[in-house]
Structure 1
C-alpha cells in the first residue's frame, strides 16, 4: 500500500517545457509532487485490483479442484454402471436360454431410469431375489450416474467462469503496472529487486512463532514485489504474510481480504501491536507484518522490493491488526 512508497530522495523535479519566444508553450510535464500523488492513487487502485486478481485465482483453484473430484467420482460410477450393465445383459441371456420372457429387458437395460420396469417385473414374479438385487443396484447406480455427471458439468462451467474472471483481473493489473512503471521511471524510483536476495538478519524482540515469521520475512528483504507472487523469487503483500506465517507452521488464506476475515476473532488494536501481528490498511488493500520497535516488513508495490520501514512512514489509515 503506502509504506515507503516513493523514496523522498529519489526522482528529479519536472519543470515546464517552454519553447522559444513566439512559439506555442508545450503542455507542462507533471511536477515531482504531482507525479508522486498520481503514483499514490495508482498504488491504491493496484492494491485492490491485485487482491481481486488473487481472490479470482483462489476461486479458480477451488473450482478446478471441485470439478476434478466430481469428475473422478463420475468416472468411477460410470465404470460401476458399465459393470452392472454387463451383469444385467448376462442375466437377460440366461433368462432367454432358460426360455424366460426377455422381451422387455433390452429396453430396461438401455433406459436412463429402469426402476419402474424393474418394479413391474418383480411384481409379476419374473425375477428371482438375486436378480432383483442386481437389477436394483443397476438402477440405483444408473440414477446416481446422471446426478454425478450433472454436478461435474456444473463445476466445470463454474471453473470456466472463474478462469474468465482471472483473465479480466490480470489484464487490468497489467495495465496498472505499465502506468506505475512509467511514473516510477520518471521519478527515478524504480527498483527491480533481486530474486536471489539473501535478505537481512532479524534481531528484533520477537520470540516463539513470531520470531520464526520475522526471520523468514527479513530473509526475503530485497526480493521484488510481484503481483500474485507467493515466493520464493518475489511476493505481493499477502503472499509474503502467508509465506512468513507458513514458516512458523500457521496456514493463512491467500488474499488480504481472506486473511482479515480469517482473523475475525484474533483482531488487536494498533496500540497493542506485538511482533508478528498482521497490519491492514483501510480498504484492506494492503497487509504488512509488525516487526517490533515501531517497524514493519512488507512487500509494498510494483517497482519496489520487500523492505523494512517505520510504521510511522505509513501514509494512509490503518483499519486494524490480526494476531495469528
Structure 2
C-alpha cells in the first residue's frame, strides 16, 4: 500500500509537480486503493466477528463454571451434613441401639434405615464426584475459550491497525482533492418508490433511509455504515438474518445465487474478490455504502467501476 501511495504522490519531471488531478482522475487513481481497503476492512470485520464469538463462548462457559461451582458447594454442604448425621447415628443410637431392640421387627426396620442411609451417602458421594469433574472440565474449557478470545483480540487489533492506516491514506488523498464527503449521521435519507414488493420493499425502504449517512469501516449503524453492515441491517428489517461480513454473506447465499441477467430488487450484488456488496434497487441501480470519504448512495450499475462476481437472493 505504501508503494501505491508513493507512486500516486510522486512528482514527475524533476522538482515540478504535476497539476492537481481532477476528481475523476483522483477516483481512477484511488480505485486500486479502495479495492485494497475493501479487503482490509472485510478482514477486520471477520476478525471482529471471530472475537465476538470467542468472547461469547468464554462468557457462556464461565457462566456454566459459576453455576457448577455453586452446585458443588451445595453438594459439599450436603455431604458434611450427612457425615455429621451418620456419625451421630453410629455413636449414639447406631448398632448398639439396634441389637438391643426387644422387637425383631424394630431391629429389621432399623437395619433397613441404615442401609438406606448408606445408599444415600454413596449416591451423594457419586453426585459430588461427577459434579467436581464437570467443574474441572468447565474451568479448563473457560480457560481455553479465554485464551482464544485473547488471541482473536490481538488479531482484531492487528487488522484494525491496517484498516486505520488504509483509511488515513484514503482520507488524506480525498481531502487534498476536495472530494471527501462527511455525510450526515443523523439524516433521514430518501424514500424508496421503486417496484419492489414484500420483504424486499422493506429492505430497500430501510436502505434508502440511510442515504447520505457516512461510510464507516466496521460500521453497523445507525449513524454510519460499511457495505456489509448496511446489507445485514437492511435485510434484518425485512425479516431475514444475514451474517455480518461479505464473505460470510456470499457463503450463506451459496444455494441462493441468481443470474446477473435475472436481478430483482433486494438482491445482493457482490464485487469480484468479495470485498464489497450492495443491494439491487431495480432499474439498473444499486444502493450501497461505497468507501471511506463517501456516503450511502444509489448508483447505476453501469458506472460502478468494478466487476461483479455474482448475486444472491435472500
TM-score w.r.t. structure 1 length? 0.81
Q: Which residue of 1 aligns with 2:307?
A: 317
- CA distance in 1: counterparts of 2:20 and 2:185, whole angstroms: 32
Q: Which runs of 5+ in 1 are unaligned?
A: 1-13, 19-23, 101-124
**Is 2:193 aligned against 1:203?**
yes
The whole-number CA distance in structure 1 between the counterparts of 2:248 and 2:17 is: 45
Shift of 1:315: 1.3
Matched, 1:187 2:177: yes
Q: Is the 8 A contact 1:236 1:300 kept in 2?
A: yes
Q: Is the 1:15–1:29 contact (alpha carbons within 8 Å) kept by the matching residues of 2? A: no
Q: Is residue 2:228 matched to residue 1:264?
A: no
Q: Give the SS at the match of 2:305.
A: coil
- What's the offset of the Cα at 1:37? 3.9
CA 1:34–1:312 in structure 2 vs 1: closer, same or farther (change >3 Å)?
closer
Specify the alignment match of 1:172 in structure 2. 162
- Counting only pairs closer than 5 Å after superposition, residues 1-324 of structure 1 correspond to structure 2 as 25-26=15-16, 28=18, 31-32=21-22, 35-98=26-89, 128-324=118-314
Partner secondary structure for residue 225 of structure 1:
coil
For 1:92 and 1:247, the matched residues in 2 are separated by 60
SS in 2 for 1:194: coil
Structure number with the higher helix fraction is: 2
Does the residue aligned with 1:128 lie in a helix, a strand or coil? helix
What is the alpha-carbon distance in structure 1 between the residues aligned to residue 42 and residue 19 of structure 2? 32
CA distance in 2, matches of 1:40, 1:17: 21
Of the two structures, which has the highest relative contact order with CA contacts closer than 8 Å and spacing of 6 or more?
1
| 16 and 284 in structure 1: CA distance in 2 versus 1, 3 angstrom threshold | closer
1-structure distance, mates of 2:82, 2:262: 76
* Partners of 1:15 and 1:28 within 8 A in 2: no
Superposed CA offset, 1:134-175 (max 9, x none): 111111111111011111111111111111111111111110
Equivalent position SS for 2:311: strand
The structure that has the greater radius of gyration is 2
Q: CA RMSD in A?
A: 2.3
Counterpart CA distance in 2 for 1:152 and 1:177 is 36
2: CA distance between counterparts of 1:28 and 1:305?
Answer: 29
Shift of 1:15: 12
Q: Deviations over 1:72-106 (max 9, x none)?
A: 11111111111111222233333444557xxxxxx
Partner of 2:82: helix, strand, or coil? helix
Q: Deviations over 1:162-194 (max 9, x none)?
A: 111111111111100110011111222100100
1:28 Cα offset (Å): 4.9
Alignment correspondent of 1:114 = none
Corresponding position of 1:107: none
Q: Which stretch shows the higher mean deviation, 212-221 or 283-292?
A: 212-221
What CA deviation, in whole Å up to 9, does each residue of 1:36-87 have, x standing for no partner? Answer: 3441121111101111111111111111111111111111111111111122
The number of residue pairs the alignment matches comes to 282
Unaligned runs of 5+ in 2: 1-8, 92-114
Identify if the C-alpha distance between structure 1 residues 94 and 15 changes in structure 2 by more than 3 Å, giving closer, same or farther. Answer: closer
- How far did residue 17 of structure 1 move? 8.8
